[in-house]
Amino acid sequence: MTTSTGDRTTEAVQRELMGFLSEHTRTTWAPDTDLFAQGGVSSLFAMQLLVHIESTYGISITGDDLNLDNFRTVQRMTALVERLRGEGSDG
């Protein structure tokens, strides 16, 4: 964990992800809503989300992290971003 991944950045990531989601789904999502539950987004959209996260935050999501559970809610995506950014900057 580095200082850049403190609370303020977490909030910014969360806000950015919620903005991306509402723009692309024309629906507002709470940070803890399961996006893929009944009536949520399609599985094809999951891939779009993944590509967006990788390019926006300069991380690459591979191996065991390629798991839909990491993308279910804005909170979980934020946690993933924080963890992978932390790993990156810590070397």
Q: Does 55 bind another protein (CB under 8 A)?
A: no
CB of residue 63 to another protein, shortest distance in Å: 6
| Cβ neighbour number for residue 79 with a 10 Å cutoff | 15
Residue 17 CA, chain-centre distance (Å), reads 6
User: Which amino acid makes up residue 2?
Assistant: T
Contacting range for another protein; rule: CB under 8 A; set: 1-9, 10-18, 35-43, 78-86: 35-43
Q: Which of 41, 59, 80, 81 binds another protein (CB under 8 A)?
A: 41
* Distance (Å, whole) CA 72 – CA 77: 7
Q: Which is closer to another protein, CB of 15 or CB of 24?
A: 24
Q: Is 29 in the site for another protein (CB under 8 A)?
A: no
DSSP state of 37: S
Q: Which residue has the tokens 């992978």?
A: 84
In terms of Cα–Cα distance, which of 80, 7, 79, 68 is closest to 34? 68
Number of residues that bind another protein (CB under 8 A): 20
Would you tell me which residues interact with another protein (CB under 8 A)?
23-26, 41-48, 50-51, 63-64, 66-68, 71
